[in-house]
Amino acid sequence: MSAGLDEFTTGRKKGSVIYKPIHLLYTRPNSQCEFFSYEEEAGGYIAHCRVLGRPLTKDEAIKCENYWRSCPFRRIGIQMEESGI
């Protein structure tokens, strides 16, 4: 990776890449969804969805905060837990 690109990305396990301009949040995210988590990163926060198995973009994180009750991925996660998957 070039030095310039390093400013914008960080490598993750199994090729998962954080592209800071679209993933990095500057306020701590807050969602009541049980499949939501976040981590501190580079002076900000990266939100994650365990159902999707990947980091959320800024837009997705905002939707997760506001509409978590009706999220189709949350419903899938609940169904997976109930069936033991």
CA distance linking residue 6 with residue 21, whole number of Å: 12
Q: Which two tokens stand for residue 17?
A: 């890449």
At residue 75 the predicted structure's pLDDT band, cuts being 50, 70 and 90, is very high
Q: Give φ, ψ of 9 to 5 degrees.
A: -130, 155
Quick: pLDDT tens for 12-49.
Answer: 555 568 899 999 999 999 999 999 999 998 899 999 99
For the entire predicted model, the pTM comes to: 0.80
pLDDT at residue number 66: 97
Residue 2 has pLDDT above 80, yes or no: no
Is residue 28 exposed (0-12), middle (13-18) or buried (19+ Cβ within 10 Å)?
exposed
DSSP string, 18-29: EEHHHH-BSS--
